[in-house]
Amino acid sequence: MLKVGIIGTGVIFDLNILGYLNNEDVEITCLCNRTIDKAKDKIKKFKLHKDTRIYSDYKEMLDKEELDIVEILLPHNLHADAAIYAAKKGVKAISVQKPMALTLEEADKMIEECKDSGSTLSIYENFLFAPHILKAKEIIDSDYIGDPSSIRIKIAMGGKGGWMVPNDSKKWREDPKMVGGAEAGSPVLLDNGWHAFSLASWFFGEEIEKVFAWTGNFKGLDAPAYVMFKYIQSQEHLVPQYGYMEFSLMPEMQIPSKYYSTDEFIEIIASRGIMKINQGTSIGNSMSKSDIFAPIVIIRDGKVETFNEFEKDWKQSFINATKHFIEVVKGNKEPILSGEQAKYNLRFNLAAIRSSELGKEISLKEFP
């Protein structure tokens, strides 16, 4: 049985833990949080074993515990230090929340230490494991809509709805150094936007060649924001592939989500058809049942097809992601985002932030 330790018991803990519960392959042996009472509350809430040990210092936990898996659910600026320390302690597999790190230098140090220590490094990306997203990827890979030529990802951010995020979890995101390192930082592109940057590369199976971005400024947020990018074309395509992201604000809108007041809409145009992916974070609301707002809609050969038979709750993406990671630790699968793959996504993300700061196109090959 794999022994699991979780560092950080904030809001996201409630989703990350779901794939570990009632899983005969793993045992959660310890939790770490600076506030001990918060960790105690999680033990009660999820009915964890009464002997689950609690620490206020992750280094002390890693010094004393012999762990197979460590989940790192900490603010961005602590990812690198915690992952490196876990690797040095011989933890078999390390899962780190998005984004991987704040800089490419930090990412390199994480990758190098895990390689030297023989630890598997996996960057947690639940969006890739949502049932309807997995189905969309399967359809694209099967050539059903032909060769993809463009992708548009629209992120709608409402001002109301979703669960309550404690103020102390928001405060650190106001520090530019914590969110991309540009003059004003980028809480939208680096934090919220990480998922979109990951999806853009994963759906097409191509890396990004260059990017251009523009960001606004609404009450301290770098929004609205627009990101345009071109793929490398490592293989021949009918039409050169490109993509576009838009981060839109709806400050008076309540998005019907149990989690965050955010939703994602994706449109993929290919040589034989168009695919629309409706909903991401808020999947499972009343609109999911509508044929015109089905999770996946395909327009092909003059016909409209809808795909509706999914587990319609965003939490399922976390459950699937964690179960996949457990299989990685058991040696049955590869990480969906290895350290190297996640580093490339980070490069794409940081290049977009730099582009918005400088007002010019950035080549990923030349960045930074």
Widest pairwise Cα distance in the chain: 63
Using DSSP, state whether 314 is helix, strand or coil: coil
Pair 295, 277: CB distance under 8 Å: yes
The pair of structure tokens assigned to 294 is 């089905």
Helix (H, G, I), strand (E, B) or coil at 227: strand
Under DSSP, the state recorded for 316 is H
What whole-number distance in Å separates Cα of residue 267 and Cα of residue 274?
Answer: 7
345, two tokens: 């996504």
Domain extents for the chain?
2-123, 127-311+349-355
Q: CATH top-level class for 127-311+349-355?
A: alpha beta
- Side-chain-side CA neighbours of residue 255 (13 Å): 25
- Collapsing DSSP states into helix, strand and coil, what is residue 300? strand
The residues, any chain, with a CB within 8 Å of residue 112's CB and separated by 6 or more, are none
**CATH class of the region 2-123:** alpha beta
What is the Cα–Cα distance from 80 to 107, expressed in whole angstroms? 7
pLDDT in 10s for each residue of the chain, 368 residues: 999 999 999 999 999 999 999 999 999 999 999 999 999 999 999 999 999 999 999 999 999 999 999 999 998 889 999 999 999 999 999 999 999 999 999 999 999 999 999 999 999 999 999 999 999 999 999 999 999 999 999 999 988 877 766 655 555 555 555 444 444 457 788 888 899 999 999 999 999 999 999 998 887 778 899 999 999 988 889 899 999 999 999 988 888 888 888 899 999 999 999 999 998 998 987 777 777 789 999 999 999 999 988 989 999 999 999 999 999 999 999 999 999 999 999 999 999 999 998 999 999 999 98
